[in-house]
């Protein structure tokens, strides 16, 4: 359950992945053609999702990524999870973590813990970057990797820019880390959450709205390391290559470190909106598995 709820937020960053959005015009037509004629343009839906990403609207993004029936199932699963009893040990651990993140000297204390680890990692960083670049080169050139040809081509386009970024960015800069921690702790403070019962009192939409503050802080932090996710969202272009009554194929293109990266996606029309053919989160099935686990 927790994995699926986290996935809601993580999918928000997949700008070139299969998506849907929330609204559509209704057009009077025969029953057979009504779904096709009233369905929104797939390109408009993907562009709208990019706007929600740009705004840091995780609640809107989550609802845009799945049909309404699945969203309702997600809400039910979330309610079941948050209504589970909380132990005193869990309550104490959560409160202690929030105190660490929201104390007036939170950044200073976190830096004291991280600086020795960063100093140790600095000696390992060149080798780690070399291994990462090598792995991407293998992914681009080897047919043995589990990438489609379209994914391989997208990585090939982005790779030179990624290499320049990785070789010129100081990922272990104390100044950058301090800025990142300041953004993060400030965002946590703005949630006004101090104990786990406050968090569990929120419905799914409310939890995602609070998470949006941390999500925006994460985008700001990434910008400090030379990764401008909002600029990538702004660069999004969508071309509809094929479209039938209930299927479509689109090409999304974003600019990554100065290079256009394009990927094609197959979409299907469900409940009046477009969703990726392989993007499927079945909370009903997971709820059934949870019940089975409890019985075993």
> Is the predicted pLDDT of residue 4 greater than 50, yes or no?
no
Range 152-169 average pLDDT = 92
At residue 239, the pLDDT reads: 97
At residue 147, the pLDDT reads: 83
The H or E element containing residue 66 is: none
Query: Which band of pLDDT confidence, cut at 50, 70 and 90, is reported for residue 183?
Result: very high
Between the CA of residue 88 and those of 93, 96, 196, 203, 241, what are the distances in Å?
Answer: 9, 12, 10, 22, 56
The H or E element containing residue 274 is: strand 273-276
- By mean pLDDT, which of 69-78, 190-199, 252-261, 280-289 is the weakest? 280-289
At residue 19, the pLDDT reads: 39
Q: Could you give the CA distance from residue 135 to residue 29 in angstroms, rounded to a whole number?
A: 53
> Is the predicted pLDDT of residue 80 greater than 70, yes or no?
yes
The whole-model pTM stands at 0.78
Range 246-274 average pLDDT = 93
| Mean model confidence pLDDT for the chain | 84
């Amino acid at each position: 359950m927790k994995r699926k709820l986290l996935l809601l937020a993580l999918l928000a960053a997949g700008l070139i992945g299969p998506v849907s959005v929330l609204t559509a015009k209704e057009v009077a037509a025969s029953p057979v053609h009504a779904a096709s004629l009233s369905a929104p343009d797939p390109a408009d839906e993907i562009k709208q999702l990019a706007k929600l990403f740009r705004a840091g609207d995780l609640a809107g993004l989550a609802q845009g990524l799945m049909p309404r029936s699945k969203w309702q199932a997600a809400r039910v699963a979330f309610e079941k999870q948050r209504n589970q009893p909380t132990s005193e040990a869990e309550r104490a651990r959560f409160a202690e973590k929030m105190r660490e993140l929201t104390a007036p000297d939170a950044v200073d204390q976190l830096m004291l813990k991280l600086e020795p680890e960063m100093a140790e990692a600095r000696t390992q960083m060149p080798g780690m970057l070399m291994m990462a670049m090598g792995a991407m080169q293998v992914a681009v050139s080897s047919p043995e990797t589990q990438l489609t040809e379209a994914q391989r081509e997208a990585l090939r386009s982005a790779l030179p820019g990624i290499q320049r970024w990785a070789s010129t960015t100081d990922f272990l800069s104390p100044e950058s880390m301090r800025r990142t921690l300041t953004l993060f702790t400030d965002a946590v403070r703005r949630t006004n959450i101090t104990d786990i019962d406050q968090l569990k009192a929120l419905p799914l939409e409310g939890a995602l709205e609070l998470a949006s503050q941390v999500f925006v802080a994460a985008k700001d932090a990434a910008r400090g390391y030379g990764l401008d996710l909002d600029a990538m969202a702004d660069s999004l272009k969508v071309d509809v290559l094929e479209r039938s009554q209930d299927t479509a194929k689109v090409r999304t293109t974003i600019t990554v470190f100065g290079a256009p990266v394009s990927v094609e996606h197959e979409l299907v029309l469900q409940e009046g909106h477009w969703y990726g053919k392989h993007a499927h989160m079945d909370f009903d099935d997971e709820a059934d598995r949870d019940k089975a686990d409890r019985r075993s």
